[in-house]
Amino acid sequence: MSLKYRVLKIDSIEDILRCVNLASLLELSGHPKPGNVHRNKDFINTRFEHFLAGIAAIQPNFKEFCERSFHEPNIIKGDYGKIQLGLFFHNAAEQMMKWQNGGNVLLGHILILGPLLAAATISLRRKKFSFDFFTNTIQKVIEDSTIEDTISLYQAIRKCNPGGLGAINKYDINNDEAIADLKKDHMNLKKIFDFSKENDLISLEYSTGYNIILNEGLSYYFEVFEKTNNINTATVNCFLKILSQHPDTLINRKSGFEEALKVSQYAQKIIDLGGIMSKKGLKMALELDSLLQAQNGRLNPGTTADLIAGVIFCTLLFGLRY
């Protein structure tokens, strides 16, 4: 990653909020992002406008979380356990569902952006703007999380009733005894996401300190943008790049690993052509979008889209402007 993008370019909480709002909007509007709801394609019960409503609805929650984190006295000492990340999940999910009727449109954004938002706010409060401090802070925010954060996470997920979760043997979100098990086993966010990392890319990010976003997506996004000076091309190509290397776990849960792998292999062929920077790559991306859309959401790479929101947020924090 270019040296010019290794220092956070933020001067205020308002700057962070501008970045997080724009990140969700740019992810949503990326076209053609195969298989997702986008500016030219709605699902049967979930439209582009539902995502817009959800994004608007959670902006006050981002603001509240930033301000609470910024003013928490313990962050100066490097203790991040009291910023109440789980409360942010719960409140944002509640408002996201309240303000639109398209169902769970943004829970993944909320989960993936939460630790990034906290790390940016803590960096601002402590006046430490290096890439290394930011990345280390993300890890510590997750490690310092509490059992109460995990309980709030479960409550947020239940409010959204997301599809394709499936069932697991322990800590199952659908099991009424799960909360008691979480308390008994002292499962903070780090532990619960370690437990579920094999089944979910967002969990894997929490478990690995955001390895995909920070060490794969971020540099690639900057690379494509510097080649093209086109924010949409950078968004779509980065989506395809991550999808090509990491079979989407939402597709896996809904339709099985073989289907997820086929989609990733198709994305790799597009990337090999230069992504949508080339005419052939753009043609193939449009064809892939048509193929995936025909399955009525069963082949929606929705988790990959959530990761892209995190990538874009980080690029904006580190100074990308277009």
Mean pLDDT of 22-51: 95
**CA distances, 207 to each of 14, 79, 189, 194, 298 (Å):** 29, 19, 9, 5, 26
The domain total for the chain is 1
Dihedral of the alpha carbons of 172, 174, 177, 179, in degrees to the nearest 10: 70
Confidence band (pLDDT; 50, 70, 90) for 285?
Answer: very high
Predicted confidence (pLDDT) per residue in 84-139, tens digit: 999 999 999 999 999 999 999 999 999 999 999 999 999 999 999 999 999 999 99
CA 103 – CA 117 distance, rounded (Å): 24
Residue 144 placed within a domain:
yes
Residue 147 placed within a domain:
yes
- Quote the pLDDT of residue 1: 63
- Quote the pLDDT of residue 3: 60
- Quote the pLDDT of residue 172: 83
pLDDT at 237 over 50: yes
The residue ranking higher by pLDDT, 142 or 1, is 142
Question: Given phi > 0 = left and psi -120 to 50 = alpha, else beta, which region is 296?
Answer: left
Residue 270 placed within a domain:
no
Confidence band (pLDDT; 50, 70, 90) for 169?
Answer: low
pTM of the model: 0.96
Q: Tell me: cis bond preceding 60? Omega within 30 of 0 counts.
A: no
Residue 117 placed within a domain:
yes
Contact (CB, 8 A) for 227 and 277: yes
Instruction: Tell me the DSSP string of 78-133.
Output: T--TTS-HHHHHHHHHHHHHHT-SS-SSSHHHHHHHHHHHHHHHHHHHHT--BHHH
- Quote the pLDDT of residue 178: 87
Domain with 111 in it: 3-230+310-317
Residue 294 placed within a domain:
no
Confidence band (pLDDT; 50, 70, 90) for 164?
Answer: very low
Which residues are 38's β-sheet partners?
41
Residue 267 placed within a domain:
no
Non-local (6+) Cβ contacts of 167 within 8 A are 174
- Quote the pLDDT of residue 167: 46
Longest dimension (CA), the chain: 56
- CATH code of the domain containing 68: 1.10.4200
Mean pLDDT of 143-160: 95
- Quote the pLDDT of residue 128: 97
Percent of the chain with pLDDT over 90: 90
Mean pLDDT of 284-290: 98
Residue 166 placed within a domain:
yes
Neighbour tally for 31: CB within 10 Å? 18
- Quote the pLDDT of residue 165: 45
Confidence band (pLDDT; 50, 70, 90) for 166?
Answer: very low
- Quote the pLDDT of residue 288: 98
CA 173 – CA 147 distance, rounded (Å): 15
CB contact burial 288-312 (16+ within 10 A = b; e otherwise): bbeebbeeebbbbbbbbbbbbbbbb
Mean pLDDT of 193-206: 95
Mean pLDDT of the chain: 95
Mean pLDDT of 273-299: 97
Confidence band (pLDDT; 50, 70, 90) for 168?
Answer: low
- Quote the pLDDT of residue 163: 54
Residue 245 placed within a domain:
no
